[in-house]
């Protein structure tokens, strides 16, 4: 079972991002479906059931950050994974706190986390052979973040599905 921790923009922000992508960027061969939009905080990979329990118990005991606002206002392209993404010029402290907490939960369960440095991003398209031209209108999407989720990634014939298996409401 492949798992990852993530946060999601709210429904309106997801629809606005999707509309902007369709209006201002060239058509992608492999766009990420709007329903799959998310920002990973920690990628765990394969996790056995016993480790999953350790991870959830750890998060249950933590003092999570208060809800925060996130602005996606940066376009990025990684040529190696061929991924086009949206990022944040200013990464909110609440997100950095969630990254720390979720990475720690993975470490406590003895999961080998990816070594690459964390870069907050929402993937908009995969398998992009080259960097798309800059959008005519710069992105600026602000969304409240009120929840942390633990998702299972399931690959099937019709693509990948992300199922939210556990969630934690950020406390006010
Ligand atoms: P991506 O969008 O940049 O591909 C579910 O697969 C989520 O986990 C995606 O957001 C994906 O990031 C991220 N992910 C997949 N493999 C990863 C890895 N090896 N290291 C970090 N994040 C990864």
Residues 57-101: tens digit of each pLDDT: 999 999 999 999 999 999 999 999 999 999 999 999 999 999 999
Q: 4 alpha carbon to ligand 1 midpoint, in Å? A: 8
Residue nearest to atom 23 of ligand 1 (CA): 43
Place 134 in a pLDDT band, splitting at 50, 70 and 90: confident
What CATH number is given to the structural domain containing 35? 3.90.1140.10
The dihedral built from the CA positions of residue 141, 172, 162 and 113, taken in this order, carries a sign that is: positive
Task: Name the residue among 169, 158, 119 with its Cα closest to residue 36.
Answer: 158
Total number of domains constituting the chain: 1
Share of the chain above pLDDT 70, in %: 100
Q: What per-residue confidence (pLDDT) applies to 91?
A: 98
Nearest-CA neighbor of 88 among 133, 151, 139? 139
Could you tell me if the CB of 83 is within 6 A of ligand 1? Answer: yes
Q: Give the Cα separation of 47 and 155 in Å (integer).
A: 16
Strand partners, 13: none
Residue at token pair 């999601």:
8
- By residue range, what is the domain housing residue 72? 2-169
Question: Is the predicted pLDDT of residue 169 greater than 90, yes or no?
Answer: yes
Residue 143 near ligand 1, beta carbon < 6 Å: no
Query: At 55, is the secondary structure helix, strand, or coil?
Result: helix
Instruction: Inform me whether the pLDDT recorded for 158 exceeds 90.
Output: no
Give the model's pLDDT for residue 122.
98
Under 8 Å between Cβ of 30 and 163: no
30 Cβ below 6 A of ligand 1: no
Of 1, 3, 4, the one to substitute when testing ligand 1's pocket (max ligand atoms within 8 A of C-beta) is 4
The secondary structure element, H or E, covering residue 86 is strand 83-87
- Cβ 122 under 6 angstroms from ligand 1: no
Q: How far is CA 70 from the centre of its chain?
A: 12
Match 């902007």 to its residue by tokens: 20
Interface predicted TM-score (ipTM) of this complex, two decimals? 0.91
pLDDT at 148 over 90: yes
State the pLDDT at residue 155: 94
Atom 16 in ligand 1: which residue has the minimum CA distance?
43
Q: What ligand 1 atom has the least distance to the C-alpha of 39?
A: 10
Atom of ligand 1 nearest to the CA of 40: 10
């Amino acid at each position: 079972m492949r798992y990852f921790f993530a946060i999601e923009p709210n429904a309106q922000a997801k629809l606005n991002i999707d509309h902007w992508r369709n209006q201002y960027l060239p058509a992608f061969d492999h766009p990420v479906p709007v329903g799959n939009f998310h920002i990973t905080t920690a990628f765990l990979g394969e996790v056995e059931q016993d480790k999953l329990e350790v991870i959830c118990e750890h998060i249950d005991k933590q003092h999570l950050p208060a809800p925060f606002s996130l602005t996606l206002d940066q376009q990025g392209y990684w040529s190696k994974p061929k991924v086009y993404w949206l990022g944040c010029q200013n990464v909110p402290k609440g997100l950095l706190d969630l990254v720390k907490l979720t990475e720690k939960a993975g470490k406590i369960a003895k999961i080998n986390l990816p070594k690459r440095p964390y870069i907050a991003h929402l993937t908009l398209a995969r398998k992009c052979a080259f960097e798309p031209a800059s959008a005519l209108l710069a992105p600026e999407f602000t969304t409240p973040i009120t929840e942390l989720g633990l998702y299972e990634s399931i690959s099937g014939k019709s693509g990948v599905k992300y199922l939210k298996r556990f969630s934690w409401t950020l406390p006010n």
